[in-house]
Amino acid sequence: MKTRVGILGYGNLGRGVECAVSKTSDMELVAVFTRRDPESVKIVSDGVKVDNVANIEEYKDKIDVLIICGGSATDLPKQTPVYAKMFNVIDSFDTHARIPEHFANVDAAAKEGGHIGIISVGWDPGMFSLQRAYANAILPNGKDYTFWGRGVSQGHSDAIRRIPGVKDAKQYTVPVPAALEKVRNGENPELTTREKHTRECYVVLEDGADAEAVRQAIVTMPNYFADYDTTVNFISEEELKANHSGIPHGGQVIRTGSTGWNNENKHVIEYSLKLDSNPEFTSSVLIAYARAAVKLSAEGQTGCKTVFDIAPKYLMDISEADMRAHLL
Amino acid sequence: MKTRVGILGYGNLGRGVECAVSKTSDMELVAVFTRRDPESVKIVSDGVKVDNVANIEEYKDKIDVLIICGGSATDLPKQTPVYAKMFNVIDSFDTHARIPEHFANVDAAAKEGGHIGIISVGWDPGMFSLQRAYANAILPNGKDYTFWGRGVSQGHSDAIRRIPGVKDAKQYTVPVPAALEKVRNGENPELTTREKHTRECYVVLEDGADAEAVRQAIVTMPNYFADYDTTVNFISEEELKANHSGIPHGGQVIRTGSTGWNNENKHVIEYSLKLDSNPEFTSSVLIAYARAAVKLSAEGQTGCKTVFDIAPKYLMDISEADMRAHLL
């Protein structure tokens, strides 16, 4: 029998999950839940129900795992604990500083409901976190570096769009090549924020807007841009559409460390992602962990889990013997 | 209380484990076991017993985990099942084709003894296997590539040393840059053995040996060199010592795949290792999994495990809450 999947929220991430589920042989999509009028939400899959989230409890016995595709700022802190009482759930909560609090809330709810809740699944947090954990376990005497990009930061693009005079914008986070090289060479540099990443902005102005004022507003914006070397490029709406409509991302997790009685031997562990579509890749990670949630639940486990708690064997739909024979 | 570690076999790997254990705060080395005369084995650590392996059963209650540092060809297939009856054990068995058989033998023995046996721990198999598993779970529609090097192959160096007229030799396995680039670009190439790696040999001849005959013997050697583009460099003994006495290694696991309804979005996942000392890095992985074996055993689990069966949280000596707060 296939694992029955529900999706809550039909933005970029929900759409990615829909597509990824359709390509598995062990999962089927049962329903997409939305806060909007279900009639207004057109999904790709045939024969799959779109329902208002208000009716979600009716699906308690029709869904094995609910993939929650909301935002981390306001949606997930509320949604994941609520739905962990009814379903096995997965989310991609990515506000690093608030993970302990979110974990505690989801843990209590999932245990109350007798379900599994896996939080902070994706690539960072998620795959990058795994790499940090494995690399720290292996090379305790070392130093971690995480670089993001070249890729689109949705938060920074939104921040630019809120500036008066800006019609549309896209912001790329870009690692500084010299910093990357120092790290890869095992030089263990201390890097400031400015030394690690630059920010590249592509901005479409409203008619008559003051370009220099917009540029100043961007490069001096606290938290978002002030601590970075930021380049602002003004382009036409057509150019933005033609060259900047994708949502690529990626990055590197690097740990450099040493072994030997006198720390004489250096080692570099590097994990790198180059992604054409950030939401589709995140979706792919989400459904691998959705598979794990159902297996853990079938074993009688409950409560909140993260990628650190889950053995790799739970993520695949091939047997453990096949994994040993073909992947080990 | 610290985890009490035993080491069986005191070659490069055993020495690496000794050093790595000394740098942890949660483990202590109790004894090194050898098939040689214990008096002849000088270890680095003070106050640690060197004993003949014939006496190992006396340590049944004095050791929490035994790290078996033998060779895969003849030692480990015999040793790991025998000692899994007495101890929690870890090995680095790396004959990929014989893993299913080794797993079955260790599983039966470990269950009989009520212990945990973790096999095939290191970087390949080991960390590279983990990367293959995670990447396959996330990108089911894709293709795997593993490159090794630039690094010293002990087996190939030994094969050269057996040729008449050769006094000493070192062989490096080197990935072909053009092949790596094609893979990283997502071109999904089909690569022959010759297209993936070249072999670089540094050979010291005996006095009066025929260099051209040695070169021919190397480059035509079946299995080891015949299928590769092999370069043979004749150098002096001093040069070999000065420039080729290390045991560096490394490599890349790359998976390229696509997502989207029409597979329109490409993704590249790459894991790369650059290691100054192959045995010391392998040792570092071994002790992380030794820690895991003791924790799994304390939970009442028994039987054979691989890296696929073990959640990352078991590998570290920090709390799960600290992992979530600092590494997620």
Asked if B96 and A23 come within 8 Å (Cβ–Cβ), the reply is no
- In this prediction the pTM is 0.96
DSSP character at residue B84: H
How many other CB atoms are there within 10 angstroms of residue A1's CB atom? 6
- A24–B281 CB contact, under 8 Å: no
Mean pLDDT of A73-100: 96
In sequence order, the β-bridge partners of residue A136 are: none
Closest chain A C-alpha to B101 CA, distance in angstroms: 10
Q: Radius of gyration over alpha carbons of chain B, in Å?
A: 22
Q: How far is it, in rounded angstroms, from Cα B328 to Cα B325?
A: 6
| B163-219 residue pLDDT tens | 999 999 999 999 999 999 999 998 999 999 999 999 999 999 999 999 999 999 999
Q: What is the pLDDT of residue A5?
A: 98
Asked if A285 contacts A126 with a C-beta cutoff of 8 angstroms, the reply is yes
- Distance CA(B158)–CA(B168), nearest Å, equals 9
Nearest to A308 among B125, B138, B311 (CB): B311
CB contact under 8 A, A127 and B136: no
Can you tell me the distance from the alpha carbon of B230 to that of B218, in angstroms, rounded to the nearest whole number?
A: 8
Mean pLDDT of A120-148: 97
Share of chain B above pLDDT 70, in %: 100
Nearest chain B residue (CA) to A321 = B100
Of A274, A316, A324, the CB nearest to B306: A324
3-state percent helix, strand, coil for chain B, nearest multiple of 5: 40, 25, 30
When CB atoms are compared, the residue of A134, A270, A274 closest to B267 is: A274
What is the pLDDT confidence band of residue A163, given thresholds at 50, 70 and 90?
very high
Strands (E), chain A: 3-8, 27-34, 49-52, 65-68, 89-90, 116-118, 142-148, 151-152, 166-175, 197-205, 229-234, 249-259, 265-275, 303-305
pLDDT for A56: 98
State the angle between helix axes of A75-84 and A99-113 in degrees (0 to 180), rounded to the nearest 10.
Answer: 20
- Cβ distance A325 to B100 less than 8 Å, yes or no, reads yes
pLDDT band at A312 (very low <50, low <70, confident <90, very high): very high
Over its C-alpha atoms, chain A yields an Rg (Å, rounded) of 22
Instruction: Tell me the three state secondary structure of residue B34.
Output: strand
Q: What is the pLDDT of residue A179?
A: 97
Min distance B188 CA to chain A CA atoms (Å): 15
Q: Are B150 and B120 in contact (CB under 8 A)?
A: no
Cα separation, A17 vs A6, in Å, equals 10
Q: Which is nearest to B277 in space by CA: B250, B244, B240, B253?
A: B250
* Best to test chain B binding among A92, A270, A328 (most B CBs inside 10 Å): A328
Contact B320 A307 (CB under 8 A): no
pLDDT of residue B169: 97
Using alpha carbons only, what angle is made at residue A279 by residues A96 and A53, rounded to the nearest 5 degrees?
85
Q: Which of A187, A95, A183, A193 is nearest to A145 (CA)?
A: A183
Of B133, B269, B276, nearest to A267 by CB-CB distance is: B276
The reply to whether residue B315 touches residue A285, judged by beta carbons under 8 angstroms, is no
User: What is the predicted pLDDT for the residue at A206?
Assistant: 97
Q: Do B328 and A99 touch (CB under 8 A)?
A: yes
Helices marked H in A172-251: 177-184, 193-196, 211-219, 237-243
Which neighbouring-strand residues pair with A31? A6, A49
Average pLDDT, chain A: 97
Residues of chain B whose pLDDT is less than 50?
none
